[in-house]
Chains A and B, each alone.
Chain A
């Protein structure tokens, strides 16, 4: 079994704003998306604000009582496998991870569902730089 490192994966996730800026099509597709949501990379929490399709805040926790509309959390292994250049079956999509119990989607799911492709593509962006496999 390959091991996946929380810190390395969190570092990859912190590249999200820069990765998004290099993808004008994705920014365009998120033009009507505004939300504050939590992302858990293994044990490491993140606070993310997207404004009109751009990441306007991305901060690493821990936090005390930080509010969010919805939360997407997955194990380090799940993110690491999702971000492989060619992910393996069952590790290749956020819904696949959720169905198989490796990710959770919580909170007010409306902004997530109304912008599902955007959010899935946004959270898959670190695939372009690292799988975090150690």
Chain B
């Protein structure tokens, strides 16, 4: 029998106001040093980054933090949510990240976001570059062509958790270990009704950054973009097209990874992310 162990991750709730409404936001952290704020994908939560948070090669130099966005994971929707349709916007998402960093008095944090988190990282680079030490977009692009109708995601005659997981399951690389694949999908199965759909409002409608990313100054804040070769939602070609319009953006195509590199195959992902974090730490 294996002895019980405690992981070095701690979780707390942060009370803060977002868009003029009180929120109770759950976040986790581990490690010490340069703050590294991790942004989860649409319809999921901060657990996606749990492997990074127990990786001593990372937590030795980085204070890794991740919060569940309102409506996600252990962060409840704001009071009165029952009378509205959830829709994530570029402005609201940006405000949320900036407010989180300020509330915890994080000094020039690194922000790493995946998918919608990767998209918003581009907007942070456009609007708030000076606030950050570096920005990392995983599966990030200024825009991607949609490949399904989001109306299927929240209707009473289709199981919301099952359809969300089934759709994104194809975005995981075939080489990813079964246990990690299914844990990644479990988060989608647990997501509240309409939450994934509401996140995709940002992704598809409100957060189109085409024609805007040229304003990014990587001299003020370095930008790293890493995309898995099996991601057909935000494909390597989408990321490369985006990067062509951003002088100094550094692109890596990750082999044998898909849309959820940090959770679908943590061992493969660390081969790519460790050198990036080392570069950031040493000011390279």
Q: Chain A interface: which of B47-55, B156-164, B213-221?
A: B156-164
| Residue B10 is within 8 A (CB to CB) of chain A in the complex | no
B147 contacts which chain A residues (CB < 8 A)?
A: 95, 98-99
Tally A residues with Cβ within 8 Å of B: 19
B229 contacts which chain A residues (CB < 8 A)?
A: 89
> Closest 10 interchain pairs by CB?
A93-B170, A116-B166, A117-B166, A99-B147, A96-B232, A89-B229, A114-B158, A95-B170, A89-B230, A113-B152
B158 contacts which chain A residues (CB < 8 A)?
A: 110, 113-114
Interface residues of B (CB under 8 A from A): 145, 147-148, 152, 157-159, 162-163, 165-167, 169-171, 173-175, 229-230, 232, 235
B159 touches A96 (CB 8 A): no
B174 touches A87 (CB 8 A): yes
A92 touches B159 (CB 8 A): no
Interface residues of A (CB under 8 A from B): 86-87, 89-90, 92-96, 98-100, 109-110, 113-114, 116-117, 120
Q: What is the CB-to-nearest-CB distance from A1 to chain B, in angstroms, rounded to a whole number?
A: 20
Q: Which of A100, A116, A117, A120 contacts B232 (CB 8 A)?
A: A100
Given contacts A95-B170, A95-B232, A114-B163, 11 further A-B contacts (CB under 8 A): A86-B174, A89-B229, A92-B170, A93-B232, A96-B170, A99-B145, A110-B158, A114-B162, A117-B162, A117-B165, A120-B166
A92 touches B152 (CB 8 A): no
Q: What is the CB-to-nearest-CB distance from B234 to chain A, in angstroms, rounded to a whole number?
A: 12
Shortest Cβ distance from B162 into A: residue? A117
Q: Whole-angstrom distance between the alpha carbons of A10 and B157 in the complex?
A: 33
B163 touches A94 (CB 8 A): no
The count of A-to-B residue pairs whose CB atoms sit within 8 angstroms is 52
Q: Whole-angstrom distance between the alpha carbons of A72 and B158 in the complex?
A: 19
Q: Whole-angstrom distance between the alpha carbons of A99 and B229 in the complex?
A: 15
Q: What is the CB-to-nearest-CB distance from B1 to chain A, in angstroms, rounded to a whole number?
A: 28
Q: Whole-angstrom distance between the alpha carbons of A110 and B149 in the complex?
A: 12
A86 touches B175 (CB 8 A): yes
B159 touches A120 (CB 8 A): no
A114 touches B232 (CB 8 A): no
Q: What is the CB-to-nearest-CB distance from A105 to chain B, in angstroms, rounded to a whole number?
A: 9
Shortest Cβ distance from B175 into A: residue? A86
Q: Whole-angstrom distance between the alpha carbons of A98 and B170 in the complex?
A: 12
Q: Whole-angstrom distance between the alpha carbons of A117 and B232 in the complex?
A: 17
B163 touches A116 (CB 8 A): yes
A92 touches B148 (CB 8 A): no
B165 contacts which chain A residues (CB < 8 A)?
A: 117
Q: Whole-angstrom distance between the alpha carbons of A133 and B170 in the complex?
A: 22
A110 contacts which chain B residues (CB < 8 A)?
A: 157-158
A95 touches B167 (CB 8 A): yes
A113 contacts which chain B residues (CB < 8 A)?
A: 152, 158, 163
A92 contacts which chain B residues (CB < 8 A)?
A: 170, 173-174, 230
Q: Whole-angstrom distance between the alpha carbons of A93 and B152 in the complex?
A: 19
Q: What is the CB-to-nearest-CB distance from B141 to chain A, in angstroms, rounded to a whole number?
A: 14
Q: Whole-angstrom distance between the alpha carbons of A58 and B147 in the complex?
A: 29
Q: What is the CB-to-nearest-CB distance from A133 to chain B, in angstroms, rounded to a whole number?
A: 17
